[in-house]
Amino acid sequence: MKPLTEQEIRAAFVNCTKGQTKRLFVPRDLSDRPWDDLDYLGWRDPQSPDRAYLVAELDGHPRAIALRRPSPAAGQLQRGMCSMCLTTHTGNVSLMVAPKAGKAGQQGNTVGTYLCADLDCSLYVRGRKNAGAGARLQESLSVEEKIERTVANVAAFVARVMA
Ligand SMILES: [Zn+2]
pLDDT in tens, 46-86: 999 889 999 999 999 999 999 998 876 655 556 789 999 99
DSSP for 86-111 reads --EEES-EEEEEEEPSHHHHHTT-EE
The proportion of the chain whose per-residue pLDDT surpasses 90, expressed as a percent, equals 77
Exposure b/e, 118-152, CB count within 10 A at least 16 = b: bbbbbbbbbeeeebeeebbeeeeeeeeebbebbbe
CB 118 within 8 A of CB 131: no
> pLDDT at residue 92 above 80?
yes
The number of angstroms, rounded, from the C-alpha of 133 to the middle of its chain's C-alpha atoms is 23
- C-alpha 29 – ligand 1 centre gap (Å): 21
The alpha carbon of 109 and the centre of ligand 1 are apart by a number of angstroms equal to 23
Residue 42 DSSP class: E
Q: Which contiguous run of DSSP H or E holds residue 41? A: strand 41-45
Ranges 59-73, 111-125, 129-143: which has the least confidence: 129-143
**Confidence label for 130 from pLDDT (cuts 50, 70 and 90):** confident
Q: Is 88 exposed, middle or buried (0-12, 13-18, 19+ CB in 10 A)?
A: middle
**Bridge pairing between strands 79-81 and 61-68:** unpaired
**How many whole angstroms separate alpha carbon 124 and alpha carbon 131?**
7
How remote is the CA of residue 130 from the centroid of ligand 1, in Å?
12
> How much distance in Å is there from the Cα of 61 to the middle of ligand 1?
22
Report the pLDDT value the prediction gives residue 126, as an integer from 0 to 100: 94
| C-alpha 64 – ligand 1 centre gap (Å) | 17
Distance 39 CA to ligand 1 centre (A): 11
Res 19 pLDDT > 70? yes
Task: Output phi, psi for 159, to 5 deg.
Answer: -65, -35
- Taking the C-alpha atoms of residue 99 and residue 16, their distance in angstroms, rounded to an integer, is 8
